[in-house]
Amino acid sequence: MSTKRIVVLISGSGSNLQAIINAIDAGHINGRIEHVISNKADAYGLVRAEQAGISYSVIDHKAFDSRESFDAHTRQVIDKYAPDLVVLAGFMRILSAAFVQHYRGKMLNIHPSLLPKYKGLHTHKRALEAGDNEHGCTVHFVTEELDGGPLLVQACVPVSSDDTEASLQAKVHQREHVAYPLAVELICADRIRFDEAGIFLDDELLPPSGFRLAYDA
Ligand code: GRF
């Protein structure tokens, strides 16, 4: 099986990027990060890329006069690396339909909630306000619907009565660093396929919530 080519898009700290770099270094992922793109020049994730010896580009969305022109340029840069997988890791831009369609079936995102709950922002606050006793994160394929594509991996955390938005966010973030490398690992090992029926792992149909990681995994 050929080593999969991965391009990662970030906007910030890049701790999920780091988790994927670490999993590759540990030999868990049959893939290589060919390039990292950030829309922010000061994203700490770029330091992580540099330290790992990964090439990167900054594409400042503010330098473009429309979402479509930013997306078209970003797409050109991504496609130079002929990726098998495009990983959105804290990339804080809404993508145009043409961009999403171009990478259909090979672009992943991570969202800090147990989707389909709490699409959009302030997920931790909303989970607390709803009195949920469980919260978490979801890795999903990207479709035109914001935070709406087929769900691949979910990891949960228990919500305790003394949790604050910050403590819950920290707990979920830790689980992201397990869930995202696992999702990338499964795809790079050719263990995932999807069609109209849903997502299959090793030819078994996953539930609509995706593969669910145990609390202690
Ligand atoms: C994560 O919380 C992720 O769920 C959200 O953006 C954040 C990125 O964090 N989409 P990092 O940049 O990977 O540290």
**Stretch 6-35: mean pLDDT, rounded?**
98
Predicted structure pTM score: 0.97
pLDDT, tens only, 73-86: 999 999 999 999 99
**Stretch 13-41: mean pLDDT, rounded?**
98
Q: Which two tokens mark 106? A: 């090979």
**C-alpha 34 – ligand 1 centre gap (Å):** 20
**pLDDT score recorded for residue 217:** 64
**C-alpha 46 – ligand 1 centre gap (Å):** 14
**pLDDT score recorded for residue 71:** 97
pLDDT, tens only, 127-149: 999 999 999 999 999 999 888 89
C-alpha dihedral, 110 to 115 to 118 to 123, nearest 10°: -40
Judged against a pLDDT cut of 70, whether residue 102 lies above it is answered with yes
- Specify the residue with its C-alpha closest to ligand 1, atom 1: 90
Judged against a pLDDT cut of 70, whether residue 104 lies above it is answered with yes
Which residues have CB under 6 Å of ligand 1?
10, 12-16, 45, 89-90, 110-112, 137, 173, 176
**pLDDT score recorded for residue 119:** 96
Supply the Cα-derived Rg of the chain in whole angstroms. Answer: 17
Catalytic residue among 61, 102, 111, 124: 111
- Choose among 65, 61, 56, 54: nearest CA to 24: 54
Is 16 flagged in the annotation as binding? Answer: yes
Pocket test for ligand 1, best of 22, 117, 118, 173 (most atoms within 8 A of CB): 173
- Choose among 106, 83, 95: nearest CA to 7: 83
Q: Which two tokens mark 44? A: 């700490």
Query: Residue 18: which H helix or E strand, with range?
Result: helix 15-25
Judged against a pLDDT cut of 90, whether residue 103 lies above it is answered with yes
111 noted as active-site residue: yes
**C-alpha 11 – ligand 1 centre gap (Å):** 9
pLDDT-above-90 percentage for the chain: 94
Q: Which residues contact 17 (CB under 8 A, 6 or more apart)?
A: 8, 10, 33, 36, 45, 48, 49, 87, 89, 90
